[in-house]
Amino acid sequence: MTDLTGKTCVVTGAARGIGAAIARRLADDGAHVVATDKNGPGVEALARDLGCDWARLDIEIEADWTEFAKRHRTIDVLVNNAGITGFEEGAIAHDPEKASLQDWRAVHRVNLDGTFLGCRYAIGAMRAKGAGSIINISSRSGLVGIPAAAAYASSKAAIRNHTKTVALYCAEQGLSIRCNSVHPGAILTPMWEPMLGDGPDRAARMAAFTADTPMQRFGTVEEVAAVVAMLASDEAAYMTGTELNIDGGLLAGSAATPTRG
């Protein structure tokens, strides 16, 4: 376990999935966690379970960040986790030819604008101490092209690059504010459930979705949270502007199917 005692850590998109696991892990490691989400009842329920603070925060709305900043003026860690795929309301066209400008912008408003606003807030909230850790959750999709999810891939790639810009800016300012990105691959979260189902063919569907992953399985939200906890801690004090992949080896170069026997 990492030691985050005395650190105030803000996590966006904490009502469920990866965000909830991150909030739980940081709390377990001794941090004072402020869990946020635009789903107020959902994040309040998590906060009751963890015994931490919570706030309703829609990351794409600048006024929400302004109000949040008034109540949380000084922090040590911000995890920009909240994001969308663009398919939350069902299967719609998100390829480069048929995607609408409205749908393209909607994904970027949440994923990219939300991360920009979060980073801007965090720099100001960490400047008094001159130190802190900003952790941006990007995606494997931010490192490769995704033909059927152009806006998602574009937004996550932009988060990767903005992370490096923030890291360099803070160093240039003489601040020990670190900024790193995390790139999960196929992580088993509620987002996958509609595709996996709960019938007798669930295992076969899971195997099909991870067939190209060398480790031949989904990752877990706890595995992502463990990497975030490390980046949040002082053990990662010399890491900034870097990216960490959590993808079961998918981006290592080529698929490597284990030999069975």
H/E stretch holding 100? none
Query: Which of these is catalytic: 121, 152, 169, 238?
Result: 152
Distance CA 85, CA 139 (A): 11
The answer to whether 121 is a known catalytic residue is no
Give the distance, in angstroms, between the CA of residue 73 and the centroid of all CA atoms in the same chain: 22
Calculated CA dihedral for residues 98, 99, 100, 104, nearest 10 degrees? -160
Report whether 96 contacts 44 (CB < 8 A).
no
For residue 183, give the nearest of 150, 157, 216, 210 by alpha carbon: 157
Please state, in angstroms and rounded to a whole number, the distance separating the CA atoms of residues 170 and 178: 7
Rounded CA separation 58/146 (Å): 26
**Which residues lie closer than 8 Å to 39 by C-beta, 6 or more apart?**
15, 16, 56
Contact (Cβ atoms closer than 8 angstroms) between residue 125 and residue 110 = no
First CA to last CA across the chain, in angstroms?
36
State which amino acid sits at residue 199. Answer: G
- Cα–Cα nearest to 21, from 59, 44, 50, 1: 50
Q: Which residues are catalytic?
A: 152
